[in-house]
Structure 1
């Protein structure tokens, strides 16, 4: 009887006790309703069910994060249906096993068994999130590691984990996205170290299509990720004969952070904010989600100007509506009605679309109609486009359809026609009605295009007139806007002899018009980017007038010779008064600084809310604030400005602006609105208060300016603001105005754009017309300051 009892107990896996533990020993199982918790309490391992799913998985998640965030999953593609009928065990052979009982079906294995492992073998959940099987419970050397979860990551890269190749152990560690937010099975996207010998990471779709790369590591930084300096990564460069090639990630910010390859194929760098109770997003690569290959799947159209990034064209519907709701759009769209070749028709896409790559072929055709017929006769043809006697036809599914941004859509561009069932083709009357509606909706944009076309025609006419009538002519273009020929510009500036300054696209010179009016002439470099800046300034400033915006008097455009003529501002730019070692005569008093703050706010409010098109300046900083003879503020330099119709709440463009003044949504690759200007204005207010740069130290000012906005927010909550003032004007300030400015500044730099005020409200708050409450300390800025410093902030912060 004793022998039978002994055999009975020896055949049953040991169960851990109810006490919290971080370790399994040989033969021990983890009960389905219990967890392992790392010694320091950072991580927890057990069964979890993502979202509203009824399927369960063994995973590891952050213990100290209130919103469950899973960082590793064992049985990614073999879920547990009945959690109580499951068993997670460290077998007698030293192998981690997940089985479904009573059938004893194997759902997952670490595949790291040994015929006779030492009795001291244990599986331990470490405080860095690594689940490690060691042959010696007390050993820490890597030689004792038989298996570890860090070698088999899922979608998350934790600090201390290594990604890359370890040929000696036969391990290739890379990230793979989840299928959707409720299904951790391997998705369509992966992040892998380059297998051909370059020290870089690539983001891949389907394991083959590279859509983004970090660029090569030079020992200090990845080429395409300059914000991630050497302090973030340790790496062993790739060598053909080396057995180990890897990079490990270090979290320089105290607290909880990680890299995550999202369901949509974007890599995100995040940090947990206990104060805000949410994840703070620092950066997203690629910034534009439409750059992810196949992110919207076959026939799906990607757009970065709408709240829903992916949409299906008319006559199409999502292949899987359930997956779309969970963030996985890679399955794309399907036709609502089956094709009946050759009795089909074509749907003309109602927006400017970047033509897809793939199996496009050129067919002979003399017109759009013959191009369509050649596609109809071929039942494998799914779309065509006709342009300038060139007929392009596509076979198979269309992938990577993208709507073009508003500033890239050109009238008369190639139009894509997609094959659909004849019943899905709109009747002619409806078609014309649709076209009429589109014309009405786009009238504001068309007005801007027509204005620009008119200006170009005027330039061409002016060139002809110059040749016929001589040189040095000035012609009225529209209202008070003047067209100068190049000789007139040279004469006004005395051949560009008195230089006032220089910028990204050219230099600025002092000049005088024939009527003795002083002007400032910006001569643009003959580059393509300079051409874009030139057009942006002419179109923007040529149609707006405000006391707090610099006045554009005219322009010159003769081939590569381009110049912009402004009113001359005798007191230069604001940065000269705030940051440079200036004489006492150049010190701005508090009342002057407050007046400048209100003036800039009024100018921005006009741009955002009072113009026919909302204008986002995109580069608010002291260098772009000019001061007139009475030290009144004039907002200048509209070369990066973006015009947005008031009907469109969001716009996403290539990153614009200056590092140190960029709103977090620029860096995170999120849709950008006029609230990006509000963020930059908030940082400008802090610089007006302190006389210091927000992103660098300065001899002026009592505090290290690297952390001034955070320091100011803390002082604001403590009710101690006088110490924030520029020491050059200490004691010369209206304390109520100072408090108002600091409150407004802190509201302007909130993490979420929805929490920031509009510039119209900012003007009212600064003027004392509207109340302004006590703002929360922006958690993202606090963390960024810690990242840049690499250590804790001063004890006060």
Structure 2
């Protein structure tokens, strides 16, 4: 094996013939002299700190040349940059820094340097100490080593060629980019439909004030036109609906399609012969005053008319009436004013919850109580019950299966309840149970979640002889899913969110056994410039980190609880189990003992045949022990845990199995077993 001066790792056989080289397996960067062949991809990581695969990738094909794509979470792929053959990119001095010919895509290279005999569309990078990289934000940048200052950006290829507004998320979802500046779609017909996702940060995107809902609410949908704007992808016409050529037909198709979030129509000469795009997720829009590539564009975003806003036809009628009879309007307004005053007086008690209409910023839907009652068949099928209420199974009119948490014990006022619902509704990740909507009507306060058909993790990981347990591969995937969900809460939200109640009962499984963290009733928000806060101890006995006894709350508390859950998943036994002997009924004490004997594998009960790779199982146990270190600073962050689980990093070699916080058998009997937790503990919103 040899690493060349260019950075190519090469493997030779006994005859000195090359059998493998790293240059044939690009990831997100290309070094000097490295070639990207037709069909290969550069795939950007999610971010500079998250090495998992992100939504952006670049590739070479005979059809498109060199192109960069984005794939959203709905698996829709759209091209936003393309360099076709014979197109040249030049800097301000006129020197070519990139050129795609039949011989390849060239960077800082004269045509005479092209090596003959290569496959068409090779991507060549020739310089001294330089490389090109597809970043997690979708930018394609070229770097050069600057003496004493590390690598510096020489050029952003896409921005120089097309401008910043061409990037799919330069202004975030639903953001409108105008000369590099971001804003939300303007008010339409006197109604505001969008708000900045993060206040005073327009480049972080916009959120719907009233979320789209399907089923009977389809007649509340409307398409608002965004003037002088188009979508970011002006090239990839393959993404258009093939059977729709007329603009009005395109708009109607979007209104009738529940998953459609907007319609983009492009045409060359007339609106009856064009291309219709109906994405389910809207990324950044960009300003356009003149046709691009001989195409004209029309942009329509689907919005939900608020329940307290009159239909469009009534608004038009009101305008006609206003023009003909101001006196009638005055009488109507006076009647409405009197009605609202009377209603306000009768509903003045905050804790009673009498609020006519409340619109929570974000993607949540406010559902009438009657709709939820019908969806659950008058709360017929109970899924679980706990300290703050019950959970019921239901189905919305559009066929969406839901789980409705009815909160029975509420110490908060309506304002505080809505603030906490907004917090829960603002977090979106595949490994977190999604909050679909809520109800705040009179004394009824309900939370509507996506339905998880396989219930809680607790029902699947413990060996009780009543049902088949999960295989080893599924268990590993569930551990990784939980870690990804927690990493999002800890590191990718506006404020750090500490869950504080991670346990198998609060991990739910969908029909494909994808694991999702649920129940944020005890969670705590921590500003990003703080490491910990002081608060009263909260959580479930057996999963509490030792520092919580001193009321010190940080993300490390969740990491400790995750370690316990990981060991329960791997071992197939509960943390505290009175069915075992006194010397082994507490798992941490057993783990200490087996670590001293170098027999960690023996904490696993009823090992399946697919767990024969003992090294892999032991490695997983060591990850769990790493998360359980007495000193919180020695526990890994959840993003590090994700990398270790994915095999990118190794387990810390110097972890200790001396858990001084492990409780004695006597204290277990007195404190934990006597207060066993129910199978599904329900709690208040944060």
Please give the range of the TM-score, normalised by the shorter of the 2 chains: 0.3 to 0.5
Larger gyration radius, structure 1 or structure 2: 1
Larger RCO, structures 1/2 (Cα 8 Å, 6+ apart): 2
TM normalised by structure 2 equals 0.44
